[in-house]
Amino acid sequence: MRLFRSVALSLGALLGMSGLAYALVRVQVDLSTQRMNVSTGDGESYSWPISSGRAGHLTPRGRFHPQRMFAMVHSAKYNNAPMPHSIFFTGAYAIHGTNAVGALGRPASHGCIRLAPGNAAKLYELVQAEGASISIVGALPEGYRQVAAHRHRRVASALAYAPHRRARSLREWMEDPIGPR
């Protein structure tokens, strides 16, 4: 009788867990189109523009699951940049909200996947409730590789012509603390 009960409980638990597998939020990111498609176990679906990693800072591709989630975190590596509703999926890479919504739809990040703040909050809520599987496919669009490389060259040449200011000596400072006007 005890054996029958334990087998029945195990079978019930197994069937209950199989239902959970279908409740996962499915997050599909296409780097080529810079879009994220989200579908839930309840039949809800969303399609949002993203910004992925630009040239030199590519977003990793593959299949992932959320590792850590934070309602708000700041990037220690990139000037304490805010990363609201962060879902870390591998190492230091996350899906998170951004205030740079004008860049959505094209590669612009250091490898993370950026979303509009409202979309990031919605995704965070769904993943927190149901879990998720994350699939990242595609490649950086060809035109953006060239634009990123060209932009890098232009910035370097502009910095090469920056004027060098000579520091004033202590004697010059004592004679005129404010300096030339």
The verdict on residue 69 lying in a domain is yes
Please give the model's pTM, rounded to 2 decimal places: 0.68
Residue 176 resides in a domain: no
Q: Is residue 64 part of a domain?
A: yes
pLDDT band at 94 (very low <50, low <70, confident <90, very high): very high
Half-sphere exposure of 110 (CA within 13 A, CB side): 9
Whole-number average pLDDT of the chain: 80
Cβ-Cβ contacts under 8 Å for 89 (sequence gap 6 or more): 64, 65, 66, 67, 95, 134
Which is more confidently placed, 103 or 160?
A: 103
Domain containing residue 74: 23-160
| Exposure of 160 in the CB half-sphere (CA atoms within 13 A) | 6
Total domains in the chain come to: 1
147 located within any domain: yes
In a domain? residue 76: yes
Asked, for residue 53, whether it belongs to a domain, the answer is yes
Domain CATH number, residue 74 = 2.40.440.10
Higher per-residue confidence, 132 vs 159: 132
* Position 91 in a domain: yes
Q: Residue 174, exposed/middle/buried by CB under 10 A (0-12, 13-18, 19+)? A: exposed
Which tens digit of pLDDT belongs to each residue from 77-92?
A: 888 889 999 999 999 9
- Note the pLDDT of residue 49: 97
Q: Supply 179's token pair.
A: 């300096």
Dump pLDDT digits (tens) for 17-57.
Answer: 544 445 689 999 999 999 999 999 889 999 999 999 988 88
Question: Does some domain include residue 60?
Answer: yes
Q: What is the mean pLDDT of residues 104-133?
A: 95
